[in-house]
Amino acid sequence: MGVIGSSIKRREDPALITGRGRYTDDLSLPGMLHAVIVRSPHAHARIVSIDAAAARAAEGVVAVYDGRDLVPGGEIKGVPTGWLLPDLKVPVHPLLAVDRVRYVGDGVAVVVAESRYAARDAADLVEVEYEPLPAVVDPAKATADGAPRIHDEAPENVAFDWQLGDREKTDAAFAAATKVARLKLRNNRLIPHAVEPRACLADYDPTSGELTLRMTSQNPHVHRLLMHLASMGLPEHKMRIIAPEVGGGFGSKIHHYPDEAITAWCAINLKRPVKWTATRSEANLTDAHGRDHATTAELALDDGGRILGLRVETYAAMGAYLSTFAASVPTYLYGTLLSGQYDIPAIHVHVYGVFTNTTPVDAYRGAGRPEATFVVERLMDAAAEVCGLDPAAIRRRNFVPPEKFPYPTQVALEYDSGNYEPALDKALELAGYDALREAQKAARDDPKKPLIGIGLSSYIEACGLAPSQVVGALGAQAGLWESAKIRVQPSGSVTVYTGSSAHGQGHHTTFAQIVADKLGIDPEQVEVVHGDTEKVQFGMGTYGSRSAAVGGSAIATATDKVVAKARKIAAHLLEAAEEDVVFDPAADGGPAFHVRGVPDKRQGWGDVVLQAYLAHNYPDDLEPGLEETSFYNPSNFVYPFGTHVAVVEIDRETGEVRLARYVAVDDCGNQINPMIVAGQVHGGIAQGVGQALWEQAVYDDSGQLVTGTLLDYAVPRAHNLPSFETDHTVTPCPHNPLGVKGIGEAGTIASPAAVVNAVVDALKPYGVNHLDMPITPEKVWRAIHLKGAL
């Protein structure tokens, strides 16, 4: 086995296990001030007045600014949205609210003081008088007649009205159907909860005009570009954004929020470094939330359980403003995935993006794809029930067969490669499916035993978010390629500069493996640099399970370019024609070039590298040095897939659901580091199980977030979960140089449907055909004891 494919221990870890990891809030600068943002306690209100006199007079306070102070010359600087749809209503999103607040947590003022404690004290002294306005929080109600208008730009609170697929063909499929499965689904609103809250440290040098912003970012270059274009207006080359260690993101650190721009603005204005760090309750109010769909979905089938058509209507909450990639999530990352693993001849999806008086909603781990998988996989179980088929059988019957790849769906995508049945088979075998069904029967007949439920989820994912021409045509305001620069030092060690930006994924390890494998050198000879706009060429960052497939491919491509140049040098040294010289990274005695068919006529890699810098004995037409860059722009997304099986036990008396087992068989193509792949799957599963059973951002009717702390918002904890049983199949990606697909979101995409399918399966004897997430003991108890009277 080569270095690629080995479970090498992570080189990130020695710093992190000894307390030497440096996260943003760990950093300090001389003369540093602390910012605290005063936030609206109302979901919707007119700002009558802001009186900051007492706050300004408080000990240690240096400045207090409100929304009007941040609009010198009257031009409101706001945070932009980065994905446009036709007729998208894009309201202005000022850095601090001017005249009106639109969700609990909307910033109204910023207090800057000599210490964290002084700033927090003074924030309470800022007197804001509000005139409360009626609020709306439910996406299904926001478009009703008489609903409060949130933005003048969107009179009916509709940000977009978007359709995909063929409506007529789908209607015809339903007309021809003999069976129909129909569900109303609520995809619960989630709060990301990266354990490190967002933070930033802004430092401005008035002599050079340079701003250095250290921040919790998944994509420093994208943040810099957005801040240049919209919120800050500083020249791009005068802004340096650094992502130090980042304590988890899950999407929440992709977006351009007002807070980092406010902090930077304070540092520029005060000419002193300013730090801002969110508290947890502040993070819960302001980190972009995820999901929040109200959906009606129908599947048309024939008597044999073959799918004829799929119809979906979704109201997707956008929250109070359009966050950075908000418009893409319930459209091109959702509607396009509704074919699942199935050969569906007709699909139509209609999505309304609606404003509500809530925290903005944007990409959260999976971003649209968990919602799509939930629709499809819940419908498959409902269809199995309607058709009298086993859930495994109906899936098998409708899988896209392996010979149909590349497979064009009815919803705009072309699946690159897939082989779905072996993954299902492996998952069923690992789970012991037949024995589980027997145990389930036995348990049903014994009232002393907990009910057993078995749930399947066969998911598809489009990830490696990338093909620039494609995403550009769909509304992205950015290209989604990735960059890599490979610098070979004269002594042969290598530095990799990647535009990908890790926050827990292990890039230092896996990216070094790619280069080490291709060059035949020790991974310890390879250093990986990322997360700093001054060190690294423009890059797109880490999200959408794109780092290995796009960032890794860029590294592989740049490494190939290095080898190609070195080959010219080797050919010169070997006095052979270039085309006759081959590179063997695994040669006896170390990596070397040799003349084809003559292994003894060789030049060691190290000698060739050194010659690139000496250039003494060197081709005339070649520049010295050995450093190559690749901007890798893939031709398609990648499409990982798999089948997960959840086994639940339900206490009939309390309604409590215990996740007894969880089996995951995933196919992400070739694996660079299987240990890291499995770790990504584990974490993803836990987040999806959290959505299914415990997590929900709850707003009351007045728009107060009543799950604003970890006391009310239940993230999964160690005792809630079993150890997971994971395995994989390997269907390489046919269109990238490593044959890899993404794995970061797979667990989160598959698991909500698997768990809900298992619970509904367990409750079949009680006539239950659906329960909304999170499936609390109360919901289950009511279903059992009140016969579904919810």
For another protein, the binding residues (CB under 8 A) are 9-10, 12-23, 25-26, 28, 116-117, 193-197, 245-248, 250, 279-281, 503-506, 675-676, 678-679, 682-687, 709-711, 715-721, 723-724, 747
What is the nearest approach in angstroms of another protein to the Cβ of residue 720? 8
What is the nearest approach in angstroms of another protein to the Cβ of residue 276? 14
What is the nearest approach in angstroms of another protein to the Cβ of residue 28? 8
What is the nearest approach in angstroms of another protein to the Cβ of residue 502? 9
Amino acid at 47: I
Quick one: 197 or 370, whose CB is closer to another protein?
A: 197
């400045």: which residue's tokens? 63
**Tokens encoding 198:** 């967002």
Secondary structure element (H or E) that encloses residue 263, with its range? helix 258-270
- 648 touches 657 (CB < 8 A): yes
- Where helices occur in 575-656 by DSSP H, the ranges are 605-614
Quick one: 450 or 684, whose CB is closer to another protein?
A: 684
Backbone φ, ψ for residue 249 (5° rounding) = -140, -60
What is the nearest approach in angstroms of another protein to the Cβ of residue 790? 29
| 328, burial (CB in 10 Å: exposed 0-12, middle 13-18, buried 19+) | buried
Quick one: 193 or 485, whose CB is closer to another protein?
A: 193
What is the nearest approach in angstroms of another protein to the Cβ of residue 38? 17
Number of H helices, E strands in the chain: 18, 28
Q: Which residues of 253-263 are buried (b: 16+ CB within 10 A; e: fewer)?
A: bbbbbbbbbbb
Quick one: 21 or 604, whose CB is closer to another protein?
A: 21
- 734 touches 417 (CB < 8 A): yes
Quick one: 483 or 751, whose CB is closer to another protein?
A: 751
Quick one: 634 or 747, whose CB is closer to another protein?
A: 747
Cα separation, 458 vs 666, in Å, equals: 10
Q: What is the DSSP string of 129-142?
A: EEEE------TTTT
From residue 484, how far is each of 342, 560, 562, 740 by CA, in Å? 36, 12, 12, 17
Quick one: 89 or 291, whose CB is closer to another protein?
A: 291
Quick one: 42 or 503, whose CB is closer to another protein?
A: 503
What is the nearest approach in angstroms of another protein to the Cβ of residue 188? 17
- Where helices occur in 362-432 by DSSP H, the ranges are 369-387, 391-398, 420-431
Quick one: 295 or 510, whose CB is closer to another protein?
A: 510
> Cα 186 to the chain's mean position, in Å?
21
Cα separation, 199 vs 447, in Å, equals: 53
What is the nearest approach in angstroms of another protein to the Cβ of residue 319? 21
What is the nearest approach in angstroms of another protein to the Cβ of residue 591? 29
| Angle at 226 (CA atoms; ends 221, 227), nearest 5 degrees | 95
- Where helices occur in 478-549 by DSSP H, the ranges are 507-519
Quick one: 306 or 365, whose CB is closer to another protein?
A: 365
What is the nearest approach in angstroms of another protein to the Cβ of residue 727? 14
Cα separation, 308 vs 344, in Å, equals: 6
- The DSSP secondary-structure symbol of 197 reads P
